[in-house]
Structure 1
Amino acid sequence: MSKQTVLGRVAQLAKANVHALLDQAEDPQKMLDQLIRDYASNITEAEEAVAATLGHLRLMEQDHREDVAAAKEWGEKALAASRRADTLRAGGQTAEADRFDNLAKVALGRQLQSEKEARTAEPTIAAQTEVVARLRSGLDQMKGKLGELRAKRDELVARARSAHAQNTMLDAVKSVDVLDPTSELSRFEDKVRREEARALGRQELAASSLDAQFEQLDALGDQAEIEARLAALKA
């Protein structure tokens, strides 16, 4: 997978409207589990792409440093050959002086070539550096959202289990026969209170909608969008 494709998927997942996805899901818990798997898989792929891109960038930077060093070295050799030629020419050794001047020209040619190679590599190095920075930024956002997804998934599962346990207990208590003929009124009152508590609990559970549960995730998506736009303005 190319780094461009990975970068696109990182940006897409980092900005994903999790709230909308969950609102449309028949089983939010399964949807969260699938999102977590998708995030983890794409984070792994993106990390590999970052590592490969970063490794290539470091090689280019090393080559650039070598070209810069070579240009400097050839410049020093050209200067030394030129000075030697001047000294020989001053002493009347014209032929030998010409030979050193030719060596200086060769060194200057090598210097020029090294400088050209260094300049040619600079735009590519700058572009690769930007790609690595964007990938790392997207990875940070994805890892943050993955942590939020896992926390919300665990919270949702815990709440569902708690609600199920409470309803099971209420159903069990409801079916118990106290076998006390003198407590008909008390048993009837207990039944009414259980039904009221059951209804109240279900009303509260229904009122606690997925919108409220995942409002923080939606805000995180907004924050990622703000950060992305700020990065675009700075670029």
Structure 2
Amino acid sequence: MQMFKRIADIFNSHVNSALDKLEDPEKMINLMITELEETQSKARSSMAARKAEQLSLEREKAELEKLLLRWEDRAKLAITNGREDLAREALIEKNNTNSRIKRIEELETNLQTILASQSSQLTQIADKLKEVKDKQQILVQRARSAKEKKQVADTLKSSDSTDLARKFSELESKIERMEADAEMAGYHGTASAADEFSKMENESEIDAEMEQLKASMSKKKEKEQK
């Protein structure tokens, strides 16, 4: 259970820290991988120590089983030689040896349970480590994207709406002044000499046309009177 808690602590602490700070997503994920690898190494060392302990118990049990048979043979030998007192002592030692064997068997059973649990934990750590490594680049990209979104959101949140409206109004006024300046750039104030001549020529043409129209109407009227 402690191993599972360790894995959960690693992910909870570093993932929450990454989401809060988002300073260097790649560095945070590399740190997570490093700590998982360290946890994996410690778990392997612990498992190796338990296996060594298991082998030691097996050797001790084998020696006690030999001793058990030896005390049984001694008890038989004592009875054969009419020494019931020695036979009784041999049987007592045999029972003590048998009790020691049972205690070792209990330790072996407990160790087997621990080793099975550690083996399962190592498998889970290895699977999680492979998953993180496989998704490392994707996680970095997602973290960076989340950081950028957060920065944009913070910027929009921190911007004062009144201040934005004032800046927009100032910009609009500047554009209107630029448009007015552009219109005034083509205005010269007084008419140029060319404009005056052109005006005079147009007026002469109109006067001539007016005279022709009057003459035509006068002739028409004279004909009607005749």
Report the TM-score range of the alignment, normalised by the length of the smaller protein: 0.5 to 0.7
Note if contact 1:13-1:142 (Cα within 8 Å) is conserved in structure 2.
no
Match of 1:116 among 99, 107, 112: 99
| Structure 1 runs of 4+ with >6 Å offset | none
| SS of equivalent to 1:135 | helix
Q: Deviations over 1:4-63 (max 9, x none)?
A: xxx61x212444684854544514322211100100111111211111122112212221
Match of 1:60 among 57, 61, 81: 57
Pair 1:28 & 2:11 matched = no
Q: For residue 36 of structure 1, what is the amino acid of its counterpart?
A: I
Gaps of 5+ in 2: 150-226
Alignment of 1:91-170 (within 5 A): 97=82, 99=83, 101-156=84-139
Q: Which residue of 2 aligns with 1:50?
A: 47
Pair 1:12 & 2:5 matched = yes
Note if contact 1:75-1:111 (Cα within 8 Å) is conserved in structure 2.
yes
Which TM-score applies when normalising by structure 1? 0.51
Report how many aligned residue pairs link the two structures: 142
Q: Relative contact order (alpha carbons < 8 A, sep ≥ 6): 1 or 2 greater?
A: 1
CA distance, structure 2, for counterparts of residue 132 and residue 25 of structure 1: 39
Which shifted more, 61-70 or 14-23? 14-23
CA distance, structure 2, for counterparts of residue 80 and residue 136 of structure 1: 48
Q: Deviations over 1:85-122 (max 9, x none)?
A: 3xxxxxxxxxxx2x3x3332232122112112112233
Q: For residue 97 of structure 2, what is the amino acid of its counterpart?
A: S
Task: Give 1 or 2 for the bigger CA radius of gyration.
Answer: 2
Q: Which residue of 2 aligns with 1:4?
A: none
Note if contact 1:78-1:104 (Cα within 8 Å) is conserved in structure 2.
yes
Note if contact 2:4-2:121 (Cα within 8 Å) is conserved in structure 1.
yes
